[in-house]
Amino acid sequence: MVLLLRKTYIGGMNMLLKSLVVPKKNLTVVKESCTLEEAITILEESGYRCVPVLDETETFFRGNIYKMHIYRHKANGGDMSLPVTHLIKNSTKFISVDSSFFKVFFTIKELPYIAVLDKQQRFYGILTHSSLLGMLQESWNVKNGSYVLTIISGGEKGALANISKVINKYASIANVMTIDTEKDKSLRRLLITLPAGVSKDTLQQIVDGLEKKDYSVAEVEDLQNN
């Protein structure tokens, strides 16, 4: 049963990430046989700062080509008739359509997008940084929530259950997120989004109830007035 639930969860997450991918047919790409001169023309016409580089059949991912790298090469007197592979970047930066959310999150990092490959290692499309952040924003219920409480605990066992129990006396919980830092491992910061419709009186009851249990409410953000 545990394995079944795990497979169901992973499958659901993969479908969610897959729905965010921009498919190959909707992308501007450069073939690996293109020259740098041809590549910069494609980049200028598309308006993108970088695009994927694919093989001649547009099946396999070779890397990314960035506008800034080509212009830097040209400014330094570089040969613009060289193949685009001369300045290719991020050739190992890709994920699979079956990759876990955590792998996606930490792989994309500072990239504008991450290449996505199918199960046969063929280029499937790209997942952009902005679409991933958009998904996180939606999951945080910023648009539909009422307040976000930043609650600080000592990280003791059962803290999340106790905090949830206090809040559930007065309202449901729309979203939960923890934020911890390496510099301060003694404290846990818990961000809890309350659903729309929670009144200020109810909010105050929740804050009072948490503080009676020695959980500090460091900040309350009013989502509707921001």
127-167: pLDDT as tens digits: 998 888 777 777 666 667 899 999 988 777 888 899 999 99
pLDDT for the residue 105? 79
The stretch 183-199 carries a mean pLDDT of: 81
* Type and span of the H or E element at 221: strand 216-222
Residue 70 pLDDT level (bands cut at 50, 70, 90): very high
Helix and strand tally (H, E) in the chain?
7, 11
Q: Please tell me the CATH code under which domain 141-222 is placed.
A: 3.30.70.260
pLDDT in tens, 80-135: 999 999 999 999 999 998 887 778 878 887 889 999 999 899 999 999 988 887 77
pLDDT for the residue 144? 74
**In the chain, domain spans:** 11-135, 141-222
The residues facing 52 across adjacent strands are: 64
Q: What's the pTM?
A: 0.69
Decide if 11-135 and 141-222 have a common fold: no
pLDDT in tens, 3-59: 444 444 445 446 667 788 999 999 999 999 999 999 999 999 999 999 999 999 999
Q: Which long-range contacts (CB under 8 A, 24 or more apart) does 115-124 make?
A: 115/52, 115/61, 115/64, 115/90, 116/21, 117/61, 121/60, 122/59, 122/60, 123/24, 123/52, 123/54, 123/58, 123/59, 123/60, 123/61, 124/21, 124/23, 124/24, 124/97
pLDDT for the residue 149? 92
pLDDT tops 60 at residue 79: yes
Domain spanning 11-135: CATH 3.10.580.10? yes
Name, in order, each residue with C-beta under 8 angstroms of 129's C-beta and a sequence gap of 6 or more: 108, 111, 112, 113
